[in-house]
Amino acid sequence: MAIVALVTQKTHSNSSDNFSKTIEFAVLHCANVTGNNNKFYCLEIQEDPTSQIYRLFSHYGRLGSSNIYEIRETDKDGDDLTEERCKKEFDKIIKKKERGKNVKRGDETIREYYSRVDVVSPSVGSENICNASEVVTSSNAPMINTSNHDTESGRLIRSMVTENIHNITSNTTMTFTSQGFETPLGPVTESHLDKATEALDSLRDELNGGDALDDEDSDVKDANSQYFSLIPRKMSHIICESDLILTPDDIAAEYDLLDNLRTAVQVGLSTDSDVEEKMLIDISRLALDDRDYRRLVDKFETTKHRNHSAIQGYRVKNIFNMDIPSVTKCYTPIAEKLGNIQELFHGTKTANMLSISLKGLIIPDTGAAHVTGRMFGNGVYGASCSTKALNYAVGYWGGGRNRGQQAYVLIVNFAMGKEYVARSHLYSGAPNGYDSIWAKAGQSLLNDEFVVYNLNQATITHILELENR
Write the CB contacts of 298 (distance below 8 Å, at least 6 apart in sequence).
none
Q: Give the pLDDT score at 110.
A: 72
Please give the residue that has the higher pLDDT: either 273 or 317: 317
Question: Among 71-80, 174-183, 258-267, which stretch is predicted with the lowest mean pLDDT?
Answer: 174-183
In a domain, 124, yes or no: no
* pLDDT of res. 280: 63
Within the chain, how many helices (H) and strands (E) appear?
A: 9, 20
Q: What is the DSSP letter of 179?
A: T
pLDDT value, residue 284: 87
What DSSP designation does 23 have?
Answer: E
Q: For residues 229 and 222, what is the distance between their CA atoms, to the nearest angstrom?
A: 11
pLDDT confidence of residue 120: 67
pLDDT for position 22: 92
Segment holding 274, helix H or strand E: none
Output the pLDDT for position 370. 41
15 and 94 inside one domain: yes
Predicted confidence at residue 309, as pLDDT, reads: 63
Q: Each residue of 118-157: pLDDT tens digit?
A: 776 787 899 888 875 444 444 445 555 555 667 787 788 8
Q: Is residue 453 part of a domain?
A: yes
- pLDDT value for 135: 45
- Is the separation of the CB atoms in 435 and 456 below 8 Å? no
Q: Please state, in angstroms and rounded to a whole number, the distance separating the CA atoms of residues 310 and 230.
A: 38
Whether 157 and 284 have beta carbons less than 8 Å apart is answered as no
User: What H or E segment, with its residue span, contains residue 129?
Assistant: none
**Among the listed residues 43, 27, 23, 29, the one whose alpha carbon sits nearest the alpha carbon of residue 89:** 43
Average pLDDT score over residue span 386-393:
87
**pLDDT average, residue stretch 250-277:** 74
**Residue at a domain's end among 273, 302, 326:** 273
Average pLDDT over all residues of the chain: 81
Same domain for 390 and 292, yes or no, is: yes
Q: 357 and 322 in contact (C-beta within 8 Å)? A: yes
End residue of a domain, out of 69, 101, 117: 117
Q: Average of pLDDT values for 73-95? A: 91
The verdict on 31 and 107 lying in the same domain is yes
Which has more pLDDT, 420 or 308?
420
Q: What are phi and psi of 80, to 5 degrees?
A: -65, 160
Task: Return the CATH number at 156.
Answer: 1.20.142.10
**Residue at 146 is within a domain:** no
Give the per-residue pLDDT at 275: 56
In a domain, 440, yes or no: yes
Q: Are strands 6-11 and 37-48 parallel, antiparallel or unpaired?
A: unpaired
SS3 242: helix
Reported as type and span, the H/E element at residue 127 is none
Separation CA 352–CA 409 (nearest Å): 12
- Residue 414 pLDDT level (bands cut at 50, 70, 90): very high
**pLDDT for residue 136:** 46
- pLDDT at position 137 is 44
Q: Looking at residues 460-466, what average pLDDT do you find?
A: 93
Percent of the chain with pLDDT over 90: 28
250 and 289 together in one domain: no
Percent of the chain with pLDDT strictly greater than 70: 83
Residues 180, 264: contact at Cβ < 8 Å?
yes
Q: What is the CATH number of the domain that holds 329?
A: 3.90.228.10
Q: Lowest mean pLDDT of 160-174, 262-276, 302-316, 394-408, name the range.
A: 394-408
Is 353 domain-assigned? yes
Please check whether residue 168 lies inside any domain of the structure: yes
The size of the chain, in residues, is 469
Asked if residue 177 and residue 30 are part of one domain, the reply reads no
Final residue before a domain boundary, out of 73, 93, 117: 117
| pLDDT tens by residue, 332-389 | 999 999 999 999 999 988 888 888 888 888 887 655 444 455 678 888 999 999 988 8
Q: Are residues 354 and 460 in the same domain?
A: yes
The answer to whether residues 422 and 373 touch, using CB atoms and an 8 Å cutoff, is no
Distance CA 92, CA 443 (A): 66
Q: Which distant-in-sequence residues (6+ apart) come within 8 Å of 335 by Cβ?
A: 341, 413, 415, 457, 459
Same domain, residue pair 304 and 268: no
Range from 239-248, 294-303, 372-381 that averages highest in pLDDT: 294-303
> In the prediction, which pLDDT does 270 show?
59
What is the residue range of 186's domain? 151-273
Q: Helix or strand or coil: residue 111?
A: strand
Name the domain count of the chain. 3
Same domain assignment for residues 306 and 220: no
Which of 17, 463, 118, 35 lies closest to 283, judged by CA? 463
Q: Which one, of 420, 412, 354, lies nearest residue 381 by Cα?
A: 412
State the amino acid at position 297 in one-letter form. Answer: V
Between 371 and 185, the more confident residue is 185
Please, how many CA atoms are within 13 Å of residue 244, restricted to the half-sphere of its CB? 26
DSSP bridge pairs for 39: 30, 62
Report residue 444's pLDDT band, with 50, 70 and 90 as the boundaries.
low
Whole-number Å distance between alpha carbons of 330 and 349: 25
Instruction: Note whether 302 and 393 are same-domain residues.
Output: yes
Supply the pLDDT for residue 283. 85
Reduce the DSSP state of residue 60 to 3 states and report it.
strand
Whether residue 359 sits in one domain with residue 262: no
Mean pLDDT of 188-216: 82
Measured distance CA(317)–CA(3) in Å, rounded: 75
469 pLDDT more than 90: no
| Alpha-carbon torsion, ordered 449, 452, 458, 464, to 10 deg | 20
Q: Point out the least confidently predicted range of 109-113, 181-185, 235-239.
A: 235-239
Identify whether residues 321 and 408 lie together within a single domain: yes
Rounded Cα–Cα distance for residues 62 and 184 (Å)? 11
Count of alpha carbons within 13 Å of 374, Cβ hemisphere only? 27
* Beta-bridge partner residues of 183: 186
* Nearest to 400, CA basis, from 241, 253, 257: 253
* Residue 137 counted as domain residue: no
Asked if residue 131 is part of any domain, the answer here is no
Provide the terminal-to-terminal Cα distance of the chain, rounded to the nearest Å. Answer: 82
Same domain membership, residue 156 and residue 94: no
